[in-house]
Structure 1
Amino acid sequence: MDDSVTIRAMMRQVLESDPEIRIAGLAASADEADRMLEDHLVDVITLDIEMPGRSGLDYLQDLRKRRPTPVIMLSSHTARGEEIRVKALMEGAAGCFNKANAMREKDRLIQLVKDAAHREARLDQDDSAALEAMRAAAE
C-alpha cells in the first residue's frame, strides 16, 4: 500500500518480475486496503509509513491485532539507522525496505517478500541490535 500511483506501479513491476509473486491488489490508503483484504487472502502486506488517513505504523498496529499476515514496511523513512524502522519492527513488521532502492535492489526486496510469505524473514544484526536497544530503553 502506498499513496503514490507511481510508487505503486513501480512496486507492482518489481514484485511481479518474479513469477512466484502475484499482486492481489494495490491500495492508496488503509481504508482501501481494508476493503481489499476483505476479498483477498494474502501472504504478505506491504505498507508505506506516510499515507492519507492512518499512518502505516498505526495501520500496522491495527493489522497485527486482526490478522497474522506478515507486513513489510516499504518506505524511504525505514532506511537503516532510522528510528521509525525500529519502531516498525517493534510493532511487528516482518521487515523493512527503503523503497528508494526498490529498482536497484529488487532481488533483495523480492527475497524479503518471499521470506516473509514463508515466515522465514530474519532480522540482520544491525536491526536486531537496534531493536534490543529500544526494548531496553523502554524498560
Structure 2
Amino acid sequence: MRHSRVLIIDDSVTIRAMVEELLARHGNAHTIATASDGDMARALIREFRPTVITLDLNMPGIDGLALLDELRDQPHAPIVVVSSATTDGSAATKEALAHGADACFDKSKIVTEASRFIRVLKRASIKKLRLPASSGQRR
C-alpha cells in the first residue's frame, strides 16, 4: 500500500498493535493513529483525515455499526470492519456492509492471513478512489 494514513479503531490494545505491526511489515511507510472507542474515533477522523479506517464492531460506548451509520453520508476514507463476528457470509458481515462498510475481515485471521488482510485494505482504498463524486454512492 502506498503511503497511507491509517486509523485503527478497536478497544483491544493487542489488535491495535497487531494491525500496526502488519502495516509496518507489509507496505510502504504509513502514518498510523489508533482509537480505543467510537468517541475517540470521531475526533480522530476529523483531525487525522485517514485514507483508510479499520473498525471493530463491538466496543464500549458507540459501537461500530452506530459509527458506520454516522459516517454513511459523509465524505470519508474507506472503512474495513475487522471483527471476530465478520466471518465470510455471516449475518454480521452482511449487516456491516448494509451499514456502509467497504469491506469486512475476520479478526481471528489477521495473523494467519496477513497478506490477504493487506490486500483487503488496498482494494478498499482503490475502490473508494475510483468512485465518481456524483455517483450517489457513499464516499
Q: Does the TM-score normalized on the shorter chain lie above 0.5?
A: yes
CA distance in 1: counterparts of 2:46 and 2:89, whole angstroms: 35
Alignment-derived partner of residue 93 in structure 1: 101
TM-score (norm 2): 0.80
Alignment-derived partner of residue 40 in structure 2: 32
2:48 equivalent to 1:45: no
Structure 1 portions without partners, runs of 5+? 122-139
Following superposition, the deviation at residue 56 of structure 1 comes to: 0.4
Letter in 2 for 1:58: A
CA distance in 2: counterparts of 1:6 and 1:100, whole angstroms: 12
CA distance in 1: counterparts of 2:118 and 2:31, whole angstroms: 12
Q: SS at 1:92's partner residue?
A: coil
Change (3 A) 1:50 1:66: same
Alignment-derived partner of residue 135 in structure 1: none
Q: SS at 1:79's partner residue?
A: coil
**Matched pairs, number:** 121
Alpha carbons 2:102, 2:124 under 8 Å: kept: yes
Q: SS at 1:80's partner residue?
A: coil
Letter in 2 for 1:3: D
Alignment-derived partner of residue 16 in structure 1: 24
What's the Cα RMSD here?
Answer: 1.7
Letter in 1 for 2:124: A
Change (3 A) 1:22 1:50: same
1:105 to 88, 95, 113: 113
Letter in 1 for 2:40: E
Determine what percentage of the aligned residue pairs are the same residue: 36
Structure 2 portions without partners, runs of 5+? 1-8, 130-139
Change (3 A) 1:21 1:30: farther
Alpha carbons 2:38, 2:62 under 8 Å: kept: yes
TM-score (norm 1): 0.80
Q: SS at 2:100's partner residue?
A: coil
More strand by percentage: 2
1:82 to 90, 100, 106: 90
Alpha carbons 2:26, 2:115 under 8 Å: kept: no
